[in-house]
Structure 1
Amino acid sequence: MKIAVIGSNMVDLTSYITRMPTLGETLEAPDFSMGCGGKGANQAVAAAKYGADVLMVTKVGDDFFADNTIANFKKNGIDTTYVQKVPGVSSGVAPIFVDKSGQNSILIIKGANNELKPADIDAAAEDLKACKMIILQLEISLETVYYAIEFGNKYNIPVLLNPAPATNELDIDKVCQCDFFMPNETELAILTGMSVSDETEIEAAAKSLAVRGLKHVIVTMGARGSLLIDENGTQLVKPFKVNAVDSSGAGDAFIGCFACCYVENHDIVAAMKTASAFAALSVTKRGTQKSYPERADVLKLLNA
């Protein structure tokens, strides 16, 4: 089953810290790592790791990061036909700060990701039509996101939108054409303006989006699991308890695995459960894509 990811790639620059420095302060951090990331690329790798045939549509810069990003896609079995370099522009980068508890704070510089345009979707149209799902995020222009949603609807391809990083500029009415809308709690709060301090508030905020026409709202809640709101009601999928080391990329892990599972069996709750196991294993190691587990390890956790 082929899945298309139309979206971002970044170079993750991860600093492991004891605490964030205050203004004007310099602190020594205990460790640093560099790797391939970006929400679109992470989701593509997660889907591929779980067994999907993935087509990536993205842009990289003309710097020394670009060739490494393309090579990483190929290493993970991802089709790079539509991964293009943009002259005179930097690749996207994401400085990430991970504290002792494994929680992270992230900055993103979009770089070449801003150059992904509707024309690039048209250029990939014939290959996109063969896909069973299109995955989108918001690290590319909203114009391109909306165009991709329209493309999916035109050719009856299910569309999954991860509204991250969340922005109040997102037109909920335009994204109601998506089959799946997948924010985390923070993104849900930004998009709705509602409190999400507990599961009751999260459910209320998600329902406020569902009543506007979104078919399936799935909220990823980290250690609290994931929550589905659709016309059939509400379903909580409990998390798998693990020793978290680094939560970077866990939401992307969930989304990529979910997409792969859903196109295989079209069972939403079963796909959520498998995605929860995949994401749980991902936080037991440092990094984003390099922390993503093999399918056999996920199945072992599910059957434990």
Structure 2
Amino acid sequence: MPIEVSDGARVCRWISGHDALEHFASYTGPTQSQQHIKPLHWYVACRLVVEGGFHPDEINPHPPFEVRQRGTERQLIFNPAKATGSEGTILGGLKTKNVDVVVTKHSLGPVMAVSCKGTIGAFRNLTNRMEEAVGDCTNLHITYPAMVCGFLSVIRANRAEEAAVGEIAPEGAPPGRQLQANDIAVQRGGDVVESVIRYHNALRELTGRRGIRDDVSRYEAVSLAMVESNSPTPGRVLPDFPAADSPLRIEQFFQALYLRYDERYVYAAPDLKHVTHRIEWAETSPALVENLSRASRPAFDFVPRLRSP
């Protein structure tokens, strides 16, 4: 079911990846406010803390966490009062840019920026939107060539099935969005439509930036995920598209971000390691134990970054 993201509740929440994608797949309101994709921003921000080892104070929007130091250990604590809903504003080479999730290191500036794009229909126009993605990446890399930029694109896998049209909604459910021919992403028989395939092929050319002297119009990591919508399992990621050998598989996205970050900010600058290192959380961190007293911990679809015994 969609997550409540009204004006009074747009601060970052700790949710699972499935919950964020289920909200994206089920949301029926207007998309101009970005409410359909906000929970995915929250998921990314929280995952960069729990799995990525970035301090929550370094991230916009601020995740619902705080850090407590005990000797040499860092304990991660769940604290909703710390959460904010603000995006990070970055000085680009051509203009300032609000980015969905930004990691900023003291004395270094922004070191990571992740943009999330959610597309619910009008797939024939997908390739036209590539100009915006290329322009944003170029703009940011001109000023910060070492910054790790990620682009996470999710698409509703709207299916062309009569059964979906005739499905009876539960009593009191909001009206569904009427699908047009241009909104269909998966044809009868299961084949992905050509416009989405072209979009995938275009995104492949935008990913894989390795060094700071490489093309500034390429992202360090790009991912494309198709999410079931008008099906019995809304929010489920299609397992067969992109193909298993595609560099755009969502399973590879975060690890690519961490690798590029470590190469540039940790291994290449050992004198700054006290600033740039990624935190390993204590196993006894209250936020990471099974039974939280103040909230139910969401299910992990990743491995938390824990300190070795």
Q: With structure 1 as the length reference, what TM-score do the two structures score?
A: 0.35
Between structures 1 and 2, the one with greater helix share: 1
Q: Which has the larger radius of gyration?
A: 2
